[in-house]
Structure 1
Amino acid sequence: MAVIFMHKRAIWIVLAAILSLFVYNEFLVYYIVLLQCHWPQLDDGRADLDITPTSRLPLKAMIMSDTHLLGSREGHWFDRLRREWQMERSFQTALTLFNPEVIFVLGDLFDEGKWCSDREFKYYVKRFSKMFRHSSHNDMHILVGNHDIGFHSMIEDDKLKRFYRTYSVESAKMVRLKDNIFVSLNSMAFEGDRCDMCQEAMQSLNIIAGTLDCAKFYFQHGNEDPSCGDTTFPYTRPILLQHFPMYRTSDSNCTGIDSAPPDMKNDPFMPKWDCLSKEASEKILRQIKPRMIFAGHTHNFCYHEHVDHTPEWTLASFSWRYKSTPSFLLVTISNNNQAVKKCYLPSEVTVVYTYVIGAIIIIAWIVLPKKFYGYRPPSVEKSR
């Protein structure tokens, strides 16, 4: 009986060790890593003194990009299972720890949205809704990316409309949240040609720019511009959200462990493919006059200041398939001030090493002499 008892004890110890290793790597590690992040605090020294602050509490926003849920053509089932589990646990943990008021997803929700059927698109939407589920207290705004509908030259009208319809997206859209103004754009609609989508985007952008000018006129002069009607509201410089980054030549000046690898940093960007064209970027900056810009698309992090000193953050991918060190941003925003904090998700390399080291320890414990866990087999002499 002693022999049977000791064998059972060893088995239970091994099973407990395996379960502990799994729970740590698949649940606890997300809390341990994300607890190292926090909401950034506003610095009064950085406030825009030209804008009168309101009494509202600052808005707390979480911004992420490029989730790339895998499809049926290019995604292996285990790869899809693994990546979606990682993203779901990361998002749900972040939601629990930080409880943002608003969440912005900067496009490329799906990896194969540009060519998938309506049936698979519905399956995409169902999976995304499950992974990134949130309560009504966490407002979520979705932008469109090139993998959701395709690059400009391959966009089909029905695929464009189904994404717009599903996520209430527009080619150019303005929303106001707690006296802060956000302008979101469809990056593929600023090709500069005369396509219907591009004309619609430019018309919407012009309307938004005019609305902002009216609000600014009222703010500066204390009365309404007769041409504006009664559409004025408290003015503040808007925050621009889009999938493509603004025009820049490369990632050569980008830093951080989630920035482009050294052998890619100096690769020249192709306008309208890696970033917006120079012409489109200048026009948007001139019309919107944003106080800051957030974009995705490259899968690599970058902080960049434009010639007018407008700061732009390009977010790394939220998926481990494209980045071994995914990240997202926490942004604290008032109508005249803002603060940005980058939060890293667990490194996949660290998780793999933890599994390997844990497995080695468990295997070593099993093969060591049995006296190490309290079992001594009976001697040959006594068994006779």
Structure 2
Amino acid sequence: MVSLKAILPLIFIIAILIFEERVSIPSCKTISRNGVNEEGGVGFDSEGDLRVMLVADMLLMGSEASYMSLYFRDAYLTKFFKKSFERLKPDMLVVLGDVSAKGSKLTNSKWLSVLQQFQKILGPWIALPFHIGLGDRDIGECNKLNEKYVNWICSKLPGLDSTGCSSFEVSNISFVSINAVAMLCENNDLHFSVEKFIERESFDLRSYSKDAKKRKNEPEDLGEINTNFGWRENTVSSGSGPVLLLHFPLHQTTSNNCEGSTVLKRALNSSPRENSDNRRVSGAGPYKLLHTVPPNVSEYIFQALKPRIIFSAHTHEFCDHTHMDGTREVTVPAMTWDARDDPGFVFATFGRSRTVTVSQCSLVRESHVIMFYISFFVILTFTMLIANRSELISSRR
């Protein structure tokens, strides 16, 4: 008869595999427009809808990653992506910046190692259409922004122009991705280049609206110059524009009750000296989480693009906010244990009738996983000691 001591290692391995399989499955809940959780989780919508998985702040370290990241956190991150793709079946993946923990400090070869790490984590799902935007971790803050370096990084990411912006269309859904880092930097060449990109997109939006009105025999109105801000007044109705993707949240003039609102409220109400967060990410130093796009720039973006919905990141927390003009902005949480104990992502479904269904997906806490391993090891050790003691007593008999 096989002894308990002999089969304990097998039991241990099976238990670990079952645990890892189950905790890798995301828990998703659909968020209604007013921020109330809806029962039933993420449902499969009608055929032809566009399903997009949005993640942010992966904070990869590439060749500088620690053993803890490479053999524990990255291993689980790979499982998270695998289970999410299998269960949710997205048509597209969007990364809203900070794919690197400290990309602005890396050499070209080390930056490439970050992208290789990203590809390894996605595995076979790298064939899925994806878009990566730029965050402040990727290219640096204003005082360290190097246009040549930004251009080089953009050349390595799919679809980005030399400014870090992009516009594309998937299943008749238009997306505009903006380099929000540059929009925080005044009197910077990259800032002006991004403004030109936005103006071109705004012109295309007005031209499309004009063509649509011609087809309906409605009067044309391409807008007028707004002397207060200096950009062309866009008379296209709010929500008629593209899906807007950017790293920093836009300025919020109204309060909200969603998770993540505390960070944004402190950003609006506290002094610059207070605007810091001592959380450390992969040894990369303090991470300032309280940046938002300045009020005048936010208003400029609203006026120029009339976004259908906005997806932003940076705060590491989920937030569902409605701006004064009715535009919905969803802030995507960080998808890494390097940033927070309970990572997550957002899943959005774009319907044919211009409806957008947003689901918040949560992943297992790192502390729970570590506690499981510690508890299981203690139990295994205790059981082995009992088994050894029982064998010793039996042999004496």
TM over 0.5: yes
Please tell me whether residue 65 in structure 1 is matched to residue 82 in structure 2: no
> Which residues of 2 match residues 58-207 of structure 1 at below 5 A?
58-70=49-61, 76-135=66-125, 138-167=128-157, 168-170=159-161, 171=163, 172-191=165-184, 193-207=186-200
Pair member with larger Rg: 1
Contact 2:253 2:323 in 1 (8 A): no
Secondary structure of the corresponding residue to residue 11 of structure 2 = helix
What corresponds to 1:48 in structure 2? none
> What is the TM-score normalised by the length of structure 1?
0.80
Gaps of at least 5 residues in structure 1 are 43-54, 228-234
How high is the sequence identity, in percent, across the aligned residues? 21
Query: Number of residue pairs matched?
Result: 348
> What is the TM-score normalised by the length of structure 2?
0.78
What corresponds to 2:343 in structure 1? 326
Contact 1:40 1:330 in 2 (8 A): no
Distance, in Å, in 2 between the alignment partners of 1:32 and 1:107 is 21
Distance, in Å, in 2 between the alignment partners of 1:33 and 1:338 is 20
Please tell me whether residue 345 in structure 1 is matched to residue 363 in structure 2: yes
Distance, in Å, in 2 between the alignment partners of 1:267 and 1:330 is 27
Contact 1:110 1:147 in 2 (8 A): yes
**Aligned match of 1:314 in 331, 351, 355?**
331
Gaps of at least 5 residues in structure 2 are 30-38, 223-238, 276-288
Moved over 4 A (4+): 32-38, 134-137, 223-227, 269-273, 369-372
C-alpha distance 192-78 of structure 1, shift in aligned 2 (>3 A): closer
Distance, in Å, in 1 between the alignment partners of 2:392 and 2:292 is 66
Please tell me whether residue 18 in structure 1 is matched to residue 12 in structure 2: yes
Deviation sequence 1:252-286 (CA, Å, 0-9, x none):
73434xx47x7x67533469961100111010011
Contact 1:186 1:243 in 2 (8 A): yes
Secondary structure of the corresponding residue to residue 329 of structure 1 = strand
What corresponds to 1:232 in structure 2? none
> Which residues of 2 match residues 178-257 of structure 1 at below 5 A?
178-191=171-184, 193-222=186-215, 236-248=240-252, 253-256=256-259
146-155 vs 360-369, which moves further: 360-369
What corresponds to 1:267 in structure 2? 266
C-alpha distance 86-249 of structure 1, shift in aligned 2 (>3 A): farther
Q: CA deviation at 1:16?
A: 1.4
What corresponds to 1:30 in structure 2? 24
> C-alpha root-mean-square deviation of aligned residues, in Å?
3.2
Contact 1:305 1:312 in 2 (8 A): yes
Distance, in Å, in 1 between the alignment partners of 2:6 and 2:395 is 22
Distance, in Å, in 2 between the alignment partners of 1:304 and 1:337 is 16
